[in-house]
Amino acid sequence: MLLDGGVHALRVAAAAPAGTSAVLLELGVVLLVLAVLGRIAAKLGIPSIPLYLLAGLLMGDGGFIPVSAGEDFLAVGAQIGVVLLLLLLGLEYSPQDLQHGLRTTWQAGLVDGLANGAPGFVLGLLLGWSMTASLLLAGVTYISSSGIIARLLDDFDRYANRETPVILSLLVMEDIVMAVFLPIMAVLLVGASLVQGAVAAGIAIAIVAGAFFISLKFSAHVSKVVHSHSRELLLLSVLGLAFVVAGLAEAAQVSAAVGAFLLGLTLSGQVADDVRTLMPPLRDVFGGIFFVFFGLTIDPRDLVPVLLPALALAVVTAATKVATGMWAARRVGIGPKGQWRTGVSLIPRGEFSIVIAGLGITAGIQPQLGPLAAAYVLILAVAGSLMMRFAARIGPPSRWVPAALSRS
């Protein structure tokens, strides 16, 4: 009797929800595709991210090999990937580094906003879109992809470069602007007043300022509490804290990515050194899932009608990003090659642009916003990654001008 009961209990424990086999099968295929593409990218000496994006495009709705059973898991995995990418990015810098960077680059951040938001806003108006839809497109073209850029800086071993703090300062400023921009747009999209939008923005700013204060004043205390000589306990503590902070930030509409980045800034000393050693493999796996999932959300058939406007917008805003980055780097005394690397590093667009477009899609404000943003992001995610990879061979522009003049 007891034996029968034990067998029954084991059967219950081993039972899985219906459809589990299909989910496991498709997730296995996705991970194997990532492994194969990563090897191909390494063999060719190019970044793996463009290949991951294209793979997602081919496996999404309307692609050649649709993957649907594991979509929920991939969506969560993609979020985890962004959190880990930004957490490790924050671990590279102390609050004092960030404070210094923001103090020296706030003017560049202002120029960045005007130069890269204006093309999207103008195109929206030219296409006959409403003011709100045009503002959303301005947000899409303004914000660079912290996730892609952080991953590529690590891939190309450029964290120690002199221009990297300038790049990160601009990215953090963009993320902070998003912490204000997203709540305001969310309120405007539901027809609320400007006063209600201002209140939402005030709450977001207060949360970000509070997080910065904790980073500056209590970094050593937080690190001491999290520290453990056990790798397992340290990893569990940091991951748990990262997801809690990211979840709270997301609930407050500040963005999970910003929350994870601020936690990374707060951890310092031996804890930061140990986590930087333990976490990269985990980040690489979930980071790859993020880029595949991004591709999965795009239906290739929707891209065709908006391809030309997206291409024109990509060319213009790639140029404005390069100009902005070069100007910011030149202001702090970085040489022409570093200025060029700064400019091209800001070209990729990604997760935030998709989030902004998603707000418009949910509100049903403009049917073309989603496909246009998707095509735009795909173009600049691929082109920007390749530009970062081959920046030394292509530029800086000062190399082209004398060559052209000498030929004439």
Tell me the per-residue pLDDT of 250-303, one tens digit each, with 9 for 90 and over.
777 666 777 787 788 788 778 888 888 888 888 888 888 887 877 777 777 878
Task: Name the token pair of 382.
Answer: 């691929």
Q: What is the pLDDT of residues 383-395, one digit of tens each?
A: 998 898 888 887 7
- pLDDT of residue 2 exceeding 60, the answer is no
**Contact between 148 and 385 (Cβ < 8 Å):** yes
Mean pLDDT of 87-103: 72
Residue with tokens 């910011």: 328
> Helices in 230-366 by DSSP H: which ranges?
231-251, 256-266, 269-278, 280-296, 307-331, 336-345, 351-363
Which of 49-63, 130-144, 149-163 shows the lowest mean pLDDT across its residues? Answer: 49-63
Report the distance separating Cα 339 and Cα 330, nearest Å.
Answer: 6
Q: Omega into 396 within 30° of 0, i.e. cis?
A: yes
Kindly provide the residue ranges of all beta strands, DSSP E only, lying in 238-302, ordered along the sequence: none
- pLDDT of residue 365 exceeding 80, the answer is yes
Mean pLDDT over all residues of the chain? 80
1 band by pLDDT with thresholds 50, 70 and 90? very low
127 band by pLDDT with thresholds 50, 70 and 90? very high
What size, in residues, is the chain? 408
Mean pLDDT of 193-208: 69
Which pLDDT score, from 0 to 100, does residue 98 have? 66
Which pLDDT score, from 0 to 100, does residue 122 have? 95
Specify which of 30-44, 200-214, 248-262, 331-345 reaches the highest per-range mean pLDDT.
Answer: 331-345
Mean pLDDT of 105-119: 88
**Contact between 237 and 223 (Cβ < 8 Å):** no
